Amino acid sequence: MRDVLNVCGVSKKFKNFSLNNVSFHIEENCITGFLGKNGAGKTTLIKILLGLLKNDSGEITFFSNKYQDDDSLIKNKIGVVLDDGFFYENLTLNEMKNVIAACYTSWDEEAYGEYLKKFQLNPKQSIGTLSKGMKLKYSLALALSHGADFLIMDEPTSGLDPEIRKELMDILNEFVQEEGKSAFFSTHITSDLERCADEIIIIDKGKIVEQAGKDDLIESYRLIKGSLDDLEKIKEVPFKILDQSRYSFIGITREFEAMQSLNSNIIMEKANLEDIFLTVVGE
């Protein structure tokens, strides 16, 4: 399967924050969730990918270098959805579309019209009157109307209600079913990634601390529950305590097989992505 993005050793230093030797890759027909706390470096990296910031070192390659260094072709193949939208609030949807469409050589007016109908958007409506969910749909309509093969989204579900977030996940799942399509979106909402992601990349304090298939990552951890007596019997096995009372504890570990062999009384349950995320970033 071909890579749509390869990031190798990317670093960027600021006064109070640094991206440190960031490396990962994203494959075709894959939804990749970019998970991190606020301030972990998600938006900084996305700005570097989009050419809005220049990295100090490292290399970024799109589409396995299929388009060589033709920035115009690469730009046409990337759809962008940003949290703030960066639209002129006083323009109508069609007026804003005219500004954006001029930036792409492969703009498809028919596709744009179909997306507006699908998302129930009025082209004559002022952008300033749109709800946050409608602005997201408008951003998607623009991003998908110039033949993009790769969607890059920065916190697209932040502040949205569960129904709109589920609708976005459904749109992404439909998008990546087409040959060669992929999506990459940053978020700190783990439930969205559990619903739709194929791959998870976790960033913390400017460093990539995990990249794995979502199902493999979830399967590699277990929640453990037991009494304080049980806790004493397993203390030699690495694990993290999530909660503890006077009588019992709840923890999480990757060493669940070794733990079970030491104490068969321990109760084990599958962990969710939020538990794993908080464990990986040390919270």
Edge-to-edge order in the sheet of strand 199-204: 78-82, 150-154, 182-187, 31-35, 199-204, 207-213
The residue to which tokens 């388009």 are assigned: 67
Which segments of the chain are extended strands (E)? Answer: 3-13, 18-27, 31-35, 57-62, 78-82, 150-154, 182-187, 199-204, 207-213, 222-227, 240-244, 248-253, 267-270
Quick one: 257 and 190 in the same domain? no
Maximum pairwise Cα distance, the chain: 68
Q: Can you give the pLDDT of all 283 residues of the chain as single tens digits?
A: 688 999 999 999 999 999 999 999 999 999 999 999 988 999 999 999 999 999 999 999 999 877 777 788 888 999 999 876 679 999 999 999 999 999 998 999 999 999 999 999 999 999 999 998 899 999 999 999 999 999 999 988 877 888 888 888 888 999 999 999 999 999 888 988 998 899 999 999 999 999 999 999 999 999 999 898 888 888 788 888 888 998 999 999 998 888 888 887 889 999 999 999 989 997 6
The CATH number of residue 78's host domain is 3.40.50.300
> What is the DSSP code string of 187-232?
ES-HHHHHHH-SEEEEEETTEEEEEEEHHHHHHT-EEEEEEHHHHH
Do 104 and 146 meet the contact criterion of CB atoms below 8 Å apart? yes
Which segments of 89-206 are extended strands (E)? Answer: 150-154, 182-187, 199-204
Quick one: 127 and 262 in the same domain? no
243 CB-near residues (< 8 Å, 6+ apart) = 249, 250
Q: What is the pLDDT of residue 70?
A: 77
- Domain interval for residue 89: 3-218
Quick one: 32 and 91 in the same domain? yes
Quick one: 141 and 156 in the same domain? yes
- What total of structural domains would you count in the chain? 2
Tell me the CB-side half-sphere exposure of residue 219, using CA atoms within 13 A.
5
Do 172 and 144 meet the contact criterion of CB atoms below 8 Å apart? no
3-class state of residue 130 by DSSP: coil
CA distances 23 to 5, 81, 118, 140, 152, Å, are: 10, 22, 37, 27, 17
Residue ending a domain, among 179, 195, 218, is 218
Residue ending a domain, among 192, 218, 244, is 218
Q: What is the pLDDT of residues 271-281, one digit of tens each?
A: 999 999 989 99
Q: What is the pLDDT of residue 283?
A: 60
Residue ending a domain, among 218, 242, 264, is 218
